[in-house]
Structures are given as C-alpha cells and as structure tokens.
Chains A and B, each alone.
Chain A
Amino acid sequence: QVQLQESGPGLVKPSETLSLTCTVSGYSISSGYYWGWIRQPPGKGLEWIGSFYHSGITYYSPSLKSRVTISGDTSKNQFSLKLSYVTAADTAVYYCAREVPGTTFDYWGQGTLVTVSS
C-alpha cells in the first residue's frame, strides 16, 4: 500500500526558507508517477504548489515558481519542498501526494501544519 508522510519544522520565521520532506513507502518514486505538493491555509481551499518526476523534471505553480524548489532523493525514496522568503500568507497545512502525471492526486500524506511567525 502506498503511504506518504510529511516531515519538517512546524514553525518558520518570516523571510526564511520552509523545508519539508515527504517519505514514500510501498512504492518507488523512480517507478513512475509524479510526486507533488499541495497546501491548504487554515479554513481555506487547496492550492497546488508543484510536482516532480524522478528524472528531474519539475513544474511549478506560476504564482509560486520564483520561490519554490522541489527535488527528490531516490536512494531514500523521498522528495522535498523548499519555499523561500516565506510570509504569514504561507502558513498552511502542506500535503505531499502521488500525482498521476498531469492529472489527479491518488495518494496523499496526512499533512503537516507549517506556521510562519517570528
């Protein structure tokens, strides 16, 4: 069974870089599929951040592209999100998910709340 688990700091200071890791079990990230990040501000809707393919292909939301980097470590079966120059508007639950290429997200992590505050 495919399982995803986010990890990383729950509190980040403004202007710093948010860093999260998603550990995948039950499926190799180098076996196909894309791997994505989606976020959800408290009480609000879902926002796609970007996605990664093990070959190194990445694509990002235009609204976040200048601040986002997604990368993977196939040896650890993990992929990561870095979001730079964060503000309070980046406070959200961050989910990692498996993406059927360019389409839907069929497996999700439980999500991790990241708060941006000094």
Chain B
Amino acid sequence: EIVLTQSPGTLSLSPGERATLSCRASQSVSSSYLAWYQQRPGQAPRLLIYGASSRATGIPDRFSGSGSGTDFTLTISRLEPEDFAVYYCQQYGSSPITFGPGTTVDIK
C-alpha cells in the first residue's frame, strides 16, 4: 500500500498569506491520481483537488495543486478566514485508497 506523508504537520499563517502544503508518497502515484480535501472543525471533508491539479466543482481559484510521481503540493494563494482548517491528501492510483495524516493550517 502507498503511504502518504504530509508536511508540515502544522502551518501557522495570517489571513492574506500564501500557504504551501506538501504530500509525499512512498512510491510513485500513477497518472497523478492524487486528491486534496479540506476539513473544517466538526465538518466532513470537502474535495478540493483531483488529478493532482484539477479543481473540484465550486472550489475557488486561490486553491491550486501541482506535482507528479511522489511529490505533490497544495497551494492556497491568499488565505481567507474560512481556509484555516485541516488538509488531507489522498491517492487513488493504487489499491487500497490511502490518505495522508493531514496538515493543520491555523491562524498565527
């Protein structure tokens, strides 16, 4: 199974700043089958990015994804108050589907 590692564990930033989150896979993720989710406190996860770089329906363009192989990045260009949350990556290029441990973006 592919193990995903996310860094940093916690990112402390101010509204308006840029956030860069990393997801690294234990082996290459085929066809860039990598997704990102946002989870706000007390809520279910929400799909942000699929296919490493495609935004899901209704996701603002301040969210962008990039990467291939084993290294992927989620970038939030300018943090809005509602963006402070936990972010998970998920790979679906190899069974079983696996998730990373998450990165918390909190207010500095």
Contacts and interface: CB of A to CB of B under 8 A. Distances in A.
Contacts of A106: 47, 56-57
Interface in B35-58: 35, 37, 43-47, 50, 56-57
B44 A103 contact: no
**B contact face: mostly helix, strand, loop, or mixed:** loop
B50 A103 contact: yes
Contacts, number: 50
| B contact residues, range | 20 to 34
B101 interface: yes
Interface of A: 44-48, 59, 61-62, 95, 97, 100, 102-106, 108-111
Interface of B: 1, 33, 35, 37, 43-47, 50, 56-57, 88, 90, 92, 95-102
